[in-house]
């Protein structure tokens, strides 16, 4: 099953994608596809993940570049395995059971454990299609939302063709970047009529925090029995679409109370023989971002930047909580004016004692490990 990605404007004319498997840490759970904009900065890129019979889909993850030399790329990363599965997700447990979160598990465990969640449970229906917006969580940097799509017996869900969120105060769409969905643990015949999804909206914390939001969905479906056809999705005449299904809600004010904490370690280290600096770390409930800057500005050209970072694999952040190490997986990465920024899962609500960034650099046939203490309480 393919989940249709959202069209996004790219200010650069190219996006660079890299994927690397670390044999020591196991296979990646999520394959990230990068959207590129070559014609007026926009295009759609769809990528099939696993088989349709598993009912699992991954949409594109995308970062827009804003200045010259911003060359975003994404690593394939393993599931976060550090947290014990002791957190009861309550009515949201069905989302974890259907395996659609991958790198978000540590963040969502922390969020749910801390009560940093808003149950919405509002439904929109039309002509046999229905969407329920189950819950949201948010901070200054992003919104994560959970939804359930259903159809009657006349249609089977192929994908969520569109999932957007609009800020009603400005009447403008927020920057939706990734979608994941699945129905792995649903028995037939209900399987093809129920779809659990998670979406992420990236926020700009320099702009007013959104308060009233309208979630907007469109479900793509096929006639019963067509899901088994290998050509499903390639013949447009077979596809059917719901009307736009809209759910409006007010975002809980508690989400804007947690401000992003910023530290500037200015910690120098070497990559491929070049000096770089861990210049800034930003920590919020849903995201930890580490910025790496080039120490020598004269190296800030495409060829040199590529040479410096091409064999450096930013693995994860280890968060120490009550003597335990929790793995916070890499979520995405993108270019900045003077280096790169890497986004990781977060358990900031758990009040970690320290954060350590783990990097592996390929030297010949070996992987050298670099460990950087990015935060100590």
Q: Whats the size of the chain, residue-wise?
A: 377
Q: Are 325 and 352 in contact (CB under 8 A)?
A: no
Query: What tens digit of pLDDT does each residue of 97-144 get?
Result: 776 666 788 999 999 999 999 999 999 999 999 999 999 999 999 999
Cα–Cα distance between 195 and 157 in angstroms, integer?
7
pLDDT confidence of residue 109? 93
Q: Once rounded to an integer, what is the mean pLDDT over residues 318-342?
A: 92
Please give the span between the terminal C-alpha atoms of the chain, in angstroms, as a whole number: 45
> Mean pLDDT for the chain?
78
Query: What tens digit of pLDDT does each residue of 17-57 get?
Result: 333 333 333 322 332 233 223 222 322 322 222 223 333 33
CA torsion angle 164 169 175 181 (round to 10): -30
- CB proximity list for 276: less than 8 A, separation 6 or greater: 268, 269, 270, 292, 293, 294, 295, 308, 339
Query: What tens digit of pLDDT does each residue of 181-196 get?
Result: 888 778 887 888 999 9
Q: Once rounded to an integer, what is the mean pLDDT over residues 218-225?
A: 93
Q: Are 136 and 145 in contact (CB under 8 A)?
A: yes
For 162, other C-beta atoms within 10 Å of its C-beta total: 21
> Residue 166 — pLDDT band, cuts 50, 70, 90?
very high
Query: What tens digit of pLDDT does each residue of 244-303 get?
Result: 999 999 999 999 999 999 999 999 999 988 999 999 999 999 999 999 999 988 888 888
Binning the chain into helix, strand and coil, the percentages to the nearest 5 are 15, 45, 45
Q: Are 10 and 175 in contact (CB under 8 A)?
A: no
Residue 68 has pLDDT above 50, yes or no: no
Q: Once rounded to an integer, what is the mean pLDDT over residues 78-85?
A: 41
How far, CA to CA in Å, does 295 sit from each of 20, 264, 302? 25, 14, 15
């Amino acid at each position: 099953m393919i989940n249709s990605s959202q069209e996004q404007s790219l200010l650069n004319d190219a996006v660079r994608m890299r994927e690397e498997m670390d044999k020591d840490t196991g296979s990646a759970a999520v394959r990230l596809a990068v959207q590129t904009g070559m014609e007026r900065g926009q295009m759609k890129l769809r990528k099939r993940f696993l088989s349709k019979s598993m009912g699992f889909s991954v949409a594109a993850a995308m970062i827009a570049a804003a200045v010259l030399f911003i060359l975003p790329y994404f690593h394939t990363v393993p599931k976060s395995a550090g947290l014990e599965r002791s957190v009861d997700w309550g009515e949201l447990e069905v989302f974890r059971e259907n395996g659609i979160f991958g790198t978000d598990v540590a963040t969502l465990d922390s969020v749910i454990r801390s009560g940093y969640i808003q149950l919405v449970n509002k439904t929109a229906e039309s002509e046999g299609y229905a969407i329920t917006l189950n819950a949201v969580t948010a901070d200054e940097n992003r919104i994560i939302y959970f939804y359930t799509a259903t159809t009657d017996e006349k249609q089977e869900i192929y994908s969520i063709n569109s999932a957007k969120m609009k800020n009603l105060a400005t009447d403008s769409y927020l920057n939706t970047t990734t979608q994941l969905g699945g129905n792995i643990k649903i028995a037939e015949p209900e399987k093809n009529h129920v779809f659990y999804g998670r979406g992420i909206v990236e926020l700009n914390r320099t702009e007013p925090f959104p308060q009233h939001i309208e979630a907007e969905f469109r479900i793509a479906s096929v006639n019963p029995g067509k899901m088994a056809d290998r050509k499903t999705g390639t013949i447009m005449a077979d596809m059917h679409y719901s009307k736009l299904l809209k759910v409006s809600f007010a975002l809980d004010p508690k989400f804007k109370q947690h401000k992003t904490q910023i530290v500037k370690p200015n910690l120098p280290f070497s990559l491929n023989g070049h000096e770089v600096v861990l210049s800034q770390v930003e920590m919020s409930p849903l995201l930890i971002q580490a910025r790496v800057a080039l120490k020598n500005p004269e190296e800030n050209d495409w060829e040199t930047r590529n040479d410096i970072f091409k064999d450096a694999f930013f693995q994860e952040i280890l968060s120490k909580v009550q003597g335990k190490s929790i793995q916070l997986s890499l979520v995405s990465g993108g270019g900045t004016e003077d280096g790169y920024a890497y986004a990781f899962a977060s358990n900031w609500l758990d009040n970690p004692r320290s954060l350590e960034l783990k990097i592996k650099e390929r030297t010949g046939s070996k992987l050298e490990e670099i460990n950087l203490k990015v935060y100590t309480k």
